[in-house]
Structure 1
Amino acid sequence: RKFWALARTGQGTTLRGNDQVNGYLLLATSCDGTLATTATPTTVRVVCNNTLTIALDGTTRAIKVPHNTRFDPQAVKKQLGIAVSQWDTFMHRMRTLSERKVQWHEAMGFFMSVVCDVPPNSKLPEVLPNERALRKVQSLYEGGGRGATLESAQGTAWGLLNAVTEYVDHERRARSTEYRMDSAWFGQGAFIKQRALQAALQLAA
């Protein structure tokens, strides 16, 4: 069984259209020792409560303390300081996404790649995998999502990314909200969000 908490770091950035994004540490542990105690720098977009792990160069900055090691508070504090200091760099990239306008074909290519795992410029399969999910993220991007019509998100790479994070965090099919949240932070959902982040950054590069 996992236990988790979100702790505010005090960091925050406002993107165009008063789109507020705040910094948190996602703290997680398990009572049976199966999960190392982790602290993962995370962003929360206020308008929709979408969460996204801060990742630079494709790697997250999670700090892990295995249960079988002696807890060294000074070492962890130092690691946390390094992790939290990545905020400015990460949010600069998110600001770049909010300024990158995307064309319809780019949006479709993004969703096909991230949601359906169909590489760009490849032949469409006869049966499209995850078609229901594709339709949902499209509708979220095209105005159905919370904050989708803000200046920062409407027709931008930031909007593409947030359509996926909202789908994973709030819309994806799961046995319960708890299962969906677990996947969004620690499982397949987290992987999908990171894939969306990398695809969005490639668009804006």
Structure 2
Amino acid sequence: MHKSGERIFITAKLPGYMRVGDDDLIERYLFLTNSHDGSGSITAAFTPIRVVCQNTLNAAMRNLSNVVRIRHTANANLRLQQAHKVMGIANQVSAELEPVFNQWAKVRITDGELKKLIEMAMAPNREVLGKLKDSKLEELSSHYTNMVESVYEYALSSPTQNMHTTAGTVFGAYNAVIMESKRLCKAAE
């Protein structure tokens, strides 16, 4: 998918799952993104986020570590080595994220803390983060506040948010942001 010819991406579902608690299974994905004109290198990385639009691509791209950048070359052997490296990274990151998500599922938060986490996670830039930090909520756009309210409502009312791993937990806040971001992407199509 590209936006005004800027970026394209593909997402591939990997076999297996990450397990949070006893019965919350998280799918695993690889995504590749590139500039539409091919001027940059291809970025390949693991994510538990199914990339479906620019919003979820941005979420997946934030704070990436263990990324492979593949240069546009004709050397097939080098590309195969890089692809092997991407698969190794995907397995390593998945193994590292599973215990983090399980720990987040044990950290209880209040509804007020949930709202603050959602506000920070949905902030599109540092300017919005600054307004949140300075409690200048009246200066935030209605588009942003509506997105936050949508995620907050999802976090409190969706059946998937009432599991013991998500209800009133940091993992639930993370899950709400990811799931509602996907829904907002689909609604914008």
Normalised TM-score (structure 1): 0.66
User: How far apart are the structure 1 equivalents of 2:122 and 2:36?
Assistant: 33
Q: Retained in 2: the 8 A contact 1:54–1:90?
A: no
Question: Structure 1 CA distance, aligned partners of 2:32 and 2:145?
Answer: 34
- Aligned pairs (5 A) from 1:19-168: 19-28=24-33, 32-34=37-39, 36-43=41-48, 53=60, 58-68=63-73, 70-71=75-76, 72=78, 73-116=80-123, 117-118=128-129, 122-129=134-141, 130-144=144-158, 147-168=160-181
Could you give the per-residue CA deviations for residues 9-64 of structure 1, whole angstroms, max 9, x where no partner exists?
A: x332222361111222224456742453332212258xxxx997498xx4332322
**Post-superposition offset of 1:75:** 4.2
Q: 1:110 to 1:75 in 2, by over 3 A?
A: closer
Equivalents in 2 of 1:105, 1:31: separation in Å?
A: 41
Counterpart of 1:203 in structure 2 is none
Letter in 1 for 2:146: R
CA contact (8 A) 1:24 1:43 kept: yes
Mark the runs of 5 or more structure 1 residues left unpaired by the alignment: 177-205
**2, 5, 10: which one aligns with 1:4:** 10
Instruction: State the identity %.
Output: 17
How far residue 166 of structure 1 moved from its aligned partner, in angstroms, is: 1.6
Flag the 1:134–1:128 CA change in 2: closer, same or farther, 3 A. Answer: same
> Higher helix share goes to which structure?
2
Secondary structure, counterpart of 2:138 in structure 1: coil
Equivalent of 2:21 in 16, 30, 40: 16
2-structure distance, mates of 1:26, 1:143? 30
TM-score normalised to the size of structure 2?
0.71
Structure 2 gap ranges (5+): 3-7, 51-55
d(CA) in 2 for partners of 1:88, 1:123: 38
> In the superposition, relative to structure 1, how do residues 149 and 3 fare at CA in structure 2: closer, same or farther (>3 Å)?
same
Note the C-alpha offset of 1:153: 0.7
Partner amino acid, structure 1, of 2:182: D
Alpha-carbon distance change, 17 to 11 in structure 1, aligned in 2, over 3 angstroms: closer
Paired with 1:25 and 1:173, the residues of 2 have a C-alpha distance of: 20
Contact 1:43-1:54 at 8 Å conserved across structures? no
Q: Is the 8 A contact 1:16 1:152 kept in 2?
A: yes
Aligned equivalents of 2:137 and 2:35: distance in 1? 41
